[in-house]
Chain A
Amino acid sequence: MKRAEPISMEFHATPEEVMLAVGALQKFARANGVEDNELFGLALALEECASNIVNHALRHDSKLTFQMSFEVTATAVTIELRDRGPEFDPTAHRVSKSDVTEMAEAPGGWGILLVRRYMDEICYRREAEENVLRLTKQLGGLSRKHDFVD
């Protein structure tokens, strides 16, 4: 697999730009040797997390922006998202199997459940008035495949 320099991009807080970000990730990952069967989960995780930023942190204010960076190594893809919205830690939500319907009503709801299923690590931190969310997906069968459900 090729190794690539990390890239960073900035997007406005709209659903259409979320999907531009997803398209950029797919193109970048494919160009760097990530298999198609891994791409779906990566795209889904990015769509969900970036949508949370647009819907909850930046509240559809299209003048505001979020930043995304990707890195592909021989063993993993890492996506980092940054925004300057109010503090929101999606990793704080734990999901029980009986709460799936209830989750639909929570901020981020079902999306967070899907992200937890498709990614191997999700790390949140608040840094210099920014939400920083780092998603990591192990490649080539290295995935822990935890479903993150209690």
Chain B
Amino acid sequence: MPLEIQIQKEISPGKTGTITVKLTGSLDTATAPELERQLGPAVSGAVTDVVFDLAQLKFISSAGLRVFSNARKQLKERGGQASFIHMQPQIQEVFEIMKALPGVAIFKDVSELDRYLAARQRAHREGNAQS
């Protein structure tokens, strides 16, 4: 099963610096290198938050988890974060078994994510105002 990768930049107010990565198919030993290649330039520069939409991801192995982990490390160095939405049960189970991506945020849908991002940006603004 191949992997389809769609990377979209968020342009709505309050979400600048965020990209959404929609994955469809199988993130495995054969397809993980392509995701890593495409994510490289995407998570550099001004991007601080990456939202992985896994609604159509059917399969994941440790090769895929490693890509997520590397992206998370890169983003964390710049004060950003990797988030995950719409996980199918079998994918969520793998994440739970690993408990291996400390610091990642998992949300059931976009509205839950939006509330979280809004709170983060508010905290960030308040922090800047105080300093």
* Residues of A participating in the B interface, judged by any CB pair closer than 8 Å: 15-16, 18-19, 22-23, 40, 43-44, 47-48, 51, 54, 97, 100-101, 103-104, 109-111, 113-114, 117, 147
Contact = CB atoms under 8 A, between A and B. Distances in A.
Given A104-B66, A104-B69, A114-B62, A19 B98 contact: no
Given A44-B61, A51-B61, A100 B99 contact: yes
Interface stretch (B4-12, B25-33, B107-115): B25-33
Given A51-B29, A104-B100, A110-B98, 8 more contacts: A15-B29, A18-B30, A19-B28, A19-B30, A43-B59, A47-B29, A51-B62, A100-B99
Interface of A is mostly: helix
B47 interface: no
B97 interface: yes
A101 B65 CA distance: 12
Interface of B: 1, 26, 28-30, 33, 59, 61-63, 65-66, 69, 90, 94, 97-100, 102
A147 B99 CA distance: 13
Nearest to B100: A100
Given A100-B98, A113-B98, A114-B97, A54 B29 contact: yes
A63 B30 CA distance: 17
Contact of A40 (B59, B66, B99): B59
Contacts of A48: 61-62
Contacts of B65: 110
B98 A111 contact: no
A147 to B, nearest CB: 8
A101 B100 contact: yes
Contacts of A104: 66, 69, 100
A147 B93 CA distance: 13
Contacts of B1: 19, 23
Contact of A111 (B26, B30, B62, B102): B62
Contacts of B33: 15
Given A44-B59, A104-B69, A19 B97 contact: no
Contact of A110 (B28, B29, B100): B100
Contact of B62 (A16, A23, A110, A147): A110
Nearest to B26: A19
